[in-house]
Amino acid sequence: MATVPTIALNNGVEIPQLGFGVYQIPADETVEAVTTALEIGYRHIDTAEMYGNEKEVGEAVRRSGIPRDEVFVTSKLNNGFHRRDDALRAFDGTMAALGFETLDLFLVHWPLPTIDVDYVETWKAMEEIYRSGRCRAIGVSNFNPHHLRRLFAETEIRPAANQIEIHPYLTQDELRAFDADHEIVTEAWSPIAQGKVLDDPAVVRVAERYGKTPAQVVLRWHVQRGDVVFPKSVTRSRMEDNFALFDFALDQDAMGDITALNRNERTGPDPDTFDYVPR
């Protein structure tokens, strides 16, 4: 089984660079999908309260018999729980659903800068959660530099990670450099743009040159850039392909050909305007 490299977060906690994402996996298919992922060798699962499948992720991890400290699990604070007391309660809910004593990484899912609760209040609640010892690291998702600068100025703990949309059509070079300058690990969500980049002729050419699938060369591109990735699939053969990234390396030309596809095109919402709060 391939060894997945780990990256040290700014508090020394090690995160596996490759994981398995469970967004849009229906709850009743999640135990099976996560069980398969763990069988293949994935040791990092990315879930969220918003995905509605934390309970099933916890069940699959516990049922697998793999020691809890060998599987890195991330979850996220849902929109609508940004006030301090709501955030603390939401974290308790996440822990109860997962059935864990300790979570590896807890993220603020979206900054929601246009709602009436300031994400600085939310981050202070995240700091309380971290200090409780029930979560090994805290971070953010979908934060831009101006959101992060406010956290740096008004709070005490630096986020360990920033999980943002990144793929060949949205390479996010400035935001990644900002994260790196501030010792924040960048995690790339929708790393294959939910499949949209896989037919791109430049991606197909690189894949043919290496005898790999388009998904493999795109995921390898992320890994070589140093980001954390967790592709989602419910298809065993794709889960296997997506895990087999560590027996080849892209040369500079191939890396450049994929990076050159950037057109600043999002598949998801813009963090500066996104204001969805579940009712």
Ligand X SMILES: NC(=O)c1ccc[n+]([C@@H]2O[C@H](COP(=O)([O-])OP(=O)(O)OC[C@H]3O[C@@H](n4cnc5c(N)ncnc54)[C@H](OP(=O)(O)O)[C@@H]3O)[C@@H](O)[C@H]2O)c1
Over the window 95 to 124, marking each residue x when it contacts ligand X by CB under 6 A and - when it does not, the resulting string is --------------x---------------
Stretch that binds ligand X, among 77-85, 92-100, 226-234, 249-257 (CB under 6 A): 226-234
Give min distance, CB of 207 to ligand X, in A.
Answer: 11
**Closest C-alpha to 110, from 90, 89, 80:** 80
Residue type, 107: L
Stretch that binds ligand X, among 88-96, 143-151, 220-228, 237-245 (CB under 6 A): 237-245
HEC string of 114-137 equals: CCCCCHHHHHHHHHHHHHCCCECC
- Residue of the chain from 235, 248, 253, 277 that contacts ligand X (CB under 6 A): 235
**Under a CB-based contact definition with an 8 Å cutoff, are residues 82 and 244 in contact?**
no
Rounded Cα distance, 216 and 24, in Å: 21
Candidate list 51, 119, 130, 169, residue with the active-site label: 51
Q: Give the SS3 label for residue 269.
A: coil
> What's the residue count for the chain?
279
Q: Is 130 a catalytic residue?
A: no
Give min distance, CB of 109 to ligand X, in A.
Answer: 6
Q: Which residues bind ligand X (CB under 6 A)?
A: 21-24, 46, 109, 141-142, 163, 189-195, 198, 213, 215, 230-235, 238, 241-242, 268
